[in-house]
A and B are shown apart, each in its own frame.
Chain A
Amino acid sequence: MSKAEPLRLHVPEPTGRPGCATDFSYLRLSPAGAVRRPEVDVAPMETRDLAYALVSVLDPEGNAVGPWVPEIDIEVVRKGLRAMMKTRIFDSRMLMAQRQKKMSFYMQSLGEEAIGTAQALALNVDDMCFPTYRQQSILVVRDYPMVDMICQLMSNERDPLKGRQLPVMYSVKKAGFFSISGNLATQYIQAVGWGMASAIKGDTKIASAWIGDGATAEADFDTALTFAHVYRAPVILNVVNNQWAISTFQAIAGGEDTTFAARGVGCGIASLRVDGNDFLAVYAASRWAADRARRNLGPCLIEWVTYRAGPHSTSDDPSKYRPSDDWSHFPLGDPIARLKQYLIKVGAWSEQEHEETQKRLEAEVLTAQKEAEQYGTMASGHTFSPAEMFDGIYKELPEHLRVQRQQLGI
């Protein structure tokens, strides 16, 4: 007979629940500048150490240090800071509009603004991003009109998606922003296919795939890694590890005692783990990955370590599952505050400019909102005609849908 102890099921728990502090020591951090920067043609297996370390550039005093300091025009950095600020202002304004019932739903990206912004700046505008619902910063930095974003959010008469989609599920082909789906992870493998298509046609465009920590548990995540590796697809596989999937801590997604970057190495993909709240590190790593992809050297997986500072969505109350002051203890801080500190330090920004920019952007967002509201809101009931729901299901309207539209009396 076996003398074995009874088996026990292990169910991971976050250290911090409401009323107690999170112990962030699980994060596996590295000091700024401490992690090496390999050549872009590095063999995937030679990135193992990088997948368990953390690339960062900005030190706690706001100095840019180490081998990952990017070559970047200071004007681009200033543009990045403005885009991050604009994204945050936009988010808070739209949150308010949701509370005022001008739209049914909203999702902020509070604390994650650096990732989409800096990667978009490291890519070309015709490189296609396959975003989740939390990469609005890509649209903002690519200067997609805020009015059009708000019209989508309000499902009004000028909604580019004709009222068919839940708010935040933007689609903007001309800004290299693929149609967002509610189904998690599906776009990850599609991005690989887009990159493969670019390679099939001998093009020079690359794809940028996006997924959250929680959604890495979906099958399409693994599928995307396999296909990207097999066909050496020109794609950047971004994993935004914001520690939370709604109420679920990243350990339940499979993050306990490992990293998401390590999954890439396991699949034969060069992988980096990067400070997601460090604009310069995000830009540098994204440029590195883009160069690698564009030079036919294959895909790259990047885990961005960040923190979901806001509620999951307007339907969520995080105080029910995590400490309310969690973000203030997150060791990687606030991406906007950190970049601001850096820019001031190098003499390319000031408190005064920051304040003025803040005010100007607030006014800009408010003006855009007012303009968008002229075309209606969910509250005002000015939305697209119900006839629109029968269109565009097929290229041509089939007979059965013509009949159904008629039955609706339109």
Chain B
Amino acid sequence: MTAPVSTTATAAAIALGDDALVLSHRLGEWAGHAPVLEEDVALANIALDLLGQARILLSMAGDEDELAYLREERAFRNVQLVEQPNGDFAHTIARQLYFSTYQSLLYGQLAGGDGAFAPLAAKAVKEVAYHQDHAEQWTLRLGDGTAESHERMQRGIDALWRFTGEMFRPVEGLGDSDGVNWEALREGWTESVTAVIEKATLTVPSGPQEGAWTAGAGRQGLHTESFGRMLAEMQHLHRSHPGASW
């Protein structure tokens, strides 16, 4: 089915909700696989925060389970960054650094606005500050740790760079009252991420932040190949029992 996008705010709730839902799912794949027990706790904790945000946002747009489990991949509106496979721990941390910095700035702006998202953002911004701190601390440790961790962290930072541009394209449904300044968001993000990468003794990638395919693609429902497989796993059980409640 297609999401019931009836108002502009609904479109934004779905876009932001999908970001949180999909990233939460990816982090959930780490459970029991983390390098130290503390990270099993931390990654599950972040995943749980994001899932909580997703549930609130999707509920603003309709029925959370219908939206999560019964839409096909072309109807999902998350940025492509969050659907990228976990890769190694450095790859996951690079994805966290890029996305949590974005989310922190965006929710900070939304919390200061008068729109429908201000209450959610005011609560979520506290969670996101923790996620951002966690990602920054690990970027520093891995970048400025051993030769191997430095190399892996650089690889993660480089590999995901081309997915970062999509985050600064205005989200459909966020209007003037929501208080988002996209240009300021891009500047703030670039400044913050650059400072962390440099402090971690790493090099800020020089390539483009989006390509022909990634230009706003996720927000239009155009995703990368691994995403369909992720959804197949996520939705299988729910779809196998139509109409059941759990």
- A and B interact physically: no
Chain A residues packing against B (C-beta within 8 Å): none
